[in-house]
Structure 1
Amino acid sequence: MNDMVDWISRLPDDVLNHILSRLTAKEVVQTCILSKRWRNTWASVPVLNFQLGNFHNDCDWFGRFVNSVFQNRGQSCLRKVVYKGRFEDTSHGPSMEWLDRAAFLMPRIIVVCSLSNVDAPLIIPDSLFSCESLENLALCVQSVPVMTIIRPKSIALPSLKTLVLEHLSLDDDFAQKLLLGCPSLEGLRLEYCDLFISDISSNVLKKLIVHFCCQYQHMRICCPSLITLSICSDENSIRIFLLEKLTSLVYAEIGLIGNDEKVDVNDLPDAQLLSGLSNATTVEFLLRDPDFKEHWKKDITKCKTFRNLKSLEISAWGMINNFNLIACFLEHSPLLQKLTLKCLSKEENMIHAEQDVSFLVEHLETVDIHYPKDGMLPIKLMSMLDRCVKTFGNINISSVSS
């Protein structure tokens, strides 16, 4: 019987690199022992995927491996780097110096997910923010107890299109450098960040997501090219947003998550959110508190016509208590075609609420009402809708699992 032929080793380098790019970095490096043909192949693979789990969660071993890979890698360009690791309180301390080498190799994508319990912030090298090839960057750097602050001396990322930042502290200086130094930035996602940002103004930004961030000052959002806006915050922080000139807005998602902290509504600024959504085609609200009406009274009275709105979805724990929000949209949305109401509370029919409805909506093509599977039919809500909608098209009422 003839010896088996190593057909894989005979593949062209570009095909071989494509195959190896689907492996983790550790698995790629291990291929060097297969034969002479494979000895240095790992050094030119365009994708490096570093996973702490491949090292039995040994942070020291993992850190040494990452540094060694970059020290011994050739000059060939990278396409993508993924790093998922953790720093513990060791003599080495938290280090992200490998990012400096990674940026030098001109990748298009960098994804960093790191958890640190070292009593010192992680230092992100400035070179990362001057990588001309970078198109997508994600930094999720959760540091306990010290939050990592991003303060590069300058930002010059001409190719960057998408940026995701999580668990970081960001200020106005960073925001200004970012929006000036990223002329191609179309998508920005901020999650669980400490925001000391007063202004997000961009003529090119198309998608903005701000979720579960702690805000410490008013934030003005002025983005004429913005198509998608998603904001999820507590009812106090949400009042800090000021929306201006969102002339291209198509989809807006607003989530109000409630806050146990008791704050006098009179001490807070007037909400200026609803009026900034007037150009949207689709709007979705999630109200996780039974009663937000005190926070929205003045903002509702200032609402302009939602001239493009065709689909409105509201999910609420207190649908009847917040009916004035529904009524506001119905009254000011002449083209509204579909209304979806998701009752999240089982006790909707127990709430007594008198609503003065002084307008009529001529026609809705579709009204979908969902209520908890073990709850009661929302008769009061249906009655209140009947008072302000002259003609319904299709009415769909269904119970769903909570």
Structure 2
Amino acid sequence: MMNTNCCGSEKTDDIDRISSLPDDIRTHILSFLSTREAVQTCILSKRWINSWAYAPDLKFDIGEFELPDFENFYEDVAVEFVTKFELLMKSVLEKRETSCANIFQLWLHSGAYWPRTQVVNNCIDDAMKLGPQECSIILCSCENLNLNTDLIFTCASLTYLQLWLFTHAGPFVAIEPNSINLPCLKILNLDGVIMSDDSFKNLLLGCPVLEELVLENCCIGIIEICSNTLKNLVLHSCFCLIRLKISTPNLLYLNILVVTKEIILLNMLSLVNASISVPSWYDHDKYITRGRDLIHNLSNVESLQLEFNYPEGKAPKKDFSDCPVFNNLKCVKLLSYGLYDFDLAPFFLLHSPKLQELILENKHGRVTEFLEDETALEGPRDALVQREFLKTVRIVGFQNDNGFVDRLINMLLIHVKIIGDIVIDP
């Protein structure tokens, strides 16, 4: 409302402009707040008393109830904080309107003092009944997690699911849902879980439109991923104790760091970016054959990173002469702990006509002990075919071992007439 004072100028009365906003805008504002913050808006005005009950997102983070520091730490105080968090979850879900939720987040990382498992399970069950599209659950506890995931894995509205489970009682948390039906799920991110082979197989069958799968710190005996919809796949620090088999004709991005006895890659026709790391537990007696197979099935990529970690004294000879040409490869990065994989560089220089950048990274540390190793960087003194030009060579992690760097550069110059830039990062 505008008033005019005696001088003829306009004066603005105090107006509650936020409360006068349309309901959909106020609801949108609440989406940027945690659930605790959204509830606190009820004191703003009468119009805001029940607005939080219509907030599209449910975000519970025990970090908002921070425990005191160790100097002022008392068990009863910690329990009081956790109890407040339990009451918040319970009261919000009881009073919330039955409209659907867009996002459900539950982040519990309180260490020794953790909400009761039954309260957590009830919270998750009530939230899943609201049909959220996105679900992020991060739980960290000092005790065993007896989590009921049935309603999570049958929430048909989910398009995104993140489930990170950590416990000091063991390295993994077992999840064995009775049934799996996620017809809309496009992104699945699991961390810290252990599943039976059958449960994992049913998980993939229950996600018919899955486009991105991320498994970190997981344990599954046999991982077989056969999907026509998957575009991004990350398997990082996973224990696949028997076999890893991937057949994904529409996959674009692949990142593998897995402890396993066997890796099989099939139908990688669309793959653009790949990063493969095989740890020292790999069966290196069969390295040559499997190495050929791995590289053969990555021949369409534009960017490639390879890392093979050998047990001490077990670096095998490599012969990839029968592998195909990498017609699309523009950047290749070779990482080595023992410096034996850098002799793959000539292979890529010869078989990658579009290659622009070669990165060689030492992850071992100082390489003085390798200077006298005649097998390191062993290769022909002359090349029958020499590449005309390479735009960039980047050498990383050699500190002040200039002797080895010179040896490395000389090896590359046997196979390339002109290198545009040589960048050395200690």
Q: TM-score, normalised to structure 2's length?
A: 0.82
User: Displacement, 1:374?
Assistant: 4.1
Residue 84 of structure 1 pairs with residue 107 of structure 2: yes
- 1:248 maps to 2:270: yes
| One-letter amino acid matched to 1:341 | L
Contact 1:293 1:325 in 2 (8 A): no
Question: 2:374: which partner in 1?
Answer: 353
User: Matches of residues 125-164 of structure 1 in structure 2 within 5 Å?
Assistant: 125-146=149-170, 147-164=172-189
1:312 counterpart residue number: 332
Q: Using the aligned pairs only, state the percent identity.
A: 32
- TM-score norm. by structure 1 comes to 0.86
Output aligned runs, 1:1-400, within 5 Å.
4-57=14-67, 58-86=81-109, 88=112, 92-93=116-117, 95-119=120-144, 121-146=145-170, 147-233=172-258, 237=259, 239-256=261-278, 258=280, 265-266=284-285, 271=290, 272-286=293-307, 294=315, 297=318, 300=320, 303-319=323-339, 321-344=340-363, 345-347=365-367, 350-354=371-375, 355-357=378-380, 359-372=384-397, 374-377=399-402, 378-389=405-416, 391-394=417-420, 396-400=421-425
Residues paired across the two proteins, number? 390
Structure-1 separation of matches of 2:204 and 2:283: 35
Q: How many Å apart are 1:71 and its aligned residue?
A: 1.8
| Structure showing greater Rg | 2
Does the CA-based 8 Å contact 1:331-1:359 persist in structure 2? Answer: no
**Worse overlay, 221-230 or 141-150:** 141-150
Letter in 1 for 2:147: I
1:44-100 deviation line (CA, Å, top 9, x unaligned): 100122111111243333233223211221111111122211364679346323222
Amino acid paired to 2:304? V
Gaps of 5+ in 2: 1-10, 68-80
Distance 1:364 1:392 in 2: 5
Q: Distance in 2 between matches of 1:217 and 1:79?
A: 39
RMSD: 2.9
Partner of 1:48, secondary structure, is strand
Tell me the CA shift for residue 267 of structure 1: 8.6
Which secondary structure state, in structure 2, belongs to the residue aligned with residue 248 of structure 1? coil
